[in-house]
Amino acid sequence: MSPLQKKILNLLGLLIGITILVAIGILFVIGFFNPVSISKREKGPYKLVYLPHTGPYYQTAKTIKNVKKILQTTALKAGESCALYYDDPKNVPQNKLRSKGGVLVKDVVSLKPPLQWQEIPARAVIVGKIKSHPAIASIKVYPKLHKWLREHNLKAGTPSLEIYHSNGWVECQLPIIQVDSLK
C-alpha cells in the first residue's frame, strides 16, 4: 500500500469516526437515549383549541403552528401545544390518518374561524413521558405503552393525546379500557 493510500484510508477512518460521533451527539440532544416513564392515572379535563388535519401524523406539527399563528391575533392565551390522534398508523393509510393539532387553553370565550375547540373530559389514561423531540417520543413511547397495557390486561381507547411541554417533555396519553369489561 502506497503512502498516499495510507493517508487516504486514515482520513477516511477519521471522517467515519467523526460522523459517528456527530450522529451519536445528535441522538443525545434530541432525547433518543432518554428513558420513558409510564404511569396510570386520571388526567383532564382539558380545553383544546385546534384545527383538524387529515394526512400523515408528522404534518400535524404544521397544523399546530397554524393554530398558534391565528391565536396571536386574538386575546386568547395559548397554553402547551398538543395533538389528538384518532387512528392507528399501522391499520390506516397515511393519507387518511385523522388528527387535531392545537393548544391547550384555560377558557374559551370566542374563537376566530377556522379555529374550533373541544373539551376532553377527565379520564383514566396510561401516560408515557420522555424528554425528547416529539418524533422520538412517538417512536419510543408508544411501544412501551402498548407493552404495559398488554401486561396489565388493558386495551387502549382513542383518541390519544400528546402534550408538547415547553420544557422539552412530551407526554403521550392513551385512554384505557378494561379488557374484561369488553366481554
DSSP designation for 95: G
| Average pLDDT rounded to a whole number, residues 163-178 | 94
The per-residue pLDDT for range 101-148, each reduced to its tens digit, is 999 999 877 788 899 999 999 999 999 999 999 999 989 999 999 999
Quickly list H helices, 103-173: 134-151
The per-residue pLDDT for range 82-114, each reduced to its tens digit, is 999 999 999 999 999 999 999 999 987 778 889
Band (183; pLDDT cuts 50, 70, 90): very low
- For 131, the enclosing helix (H) or strand (E) is strand 123-131
Q: Is the pLDDT at 11 greater than 50, yes or no?
A: yes
Distance CA 153, CA 112 (A): 43
Burial of 138 (0-12, 13-18, 19+ CB in 10 A): buried
Burial of 142 (0-12, 13-18, 19+ CB in 10 A): buried
Quickly list H helices, 44-172: 60-71, 134-151
Q: Does pTM top 0.85 for this prediction?
A: yes
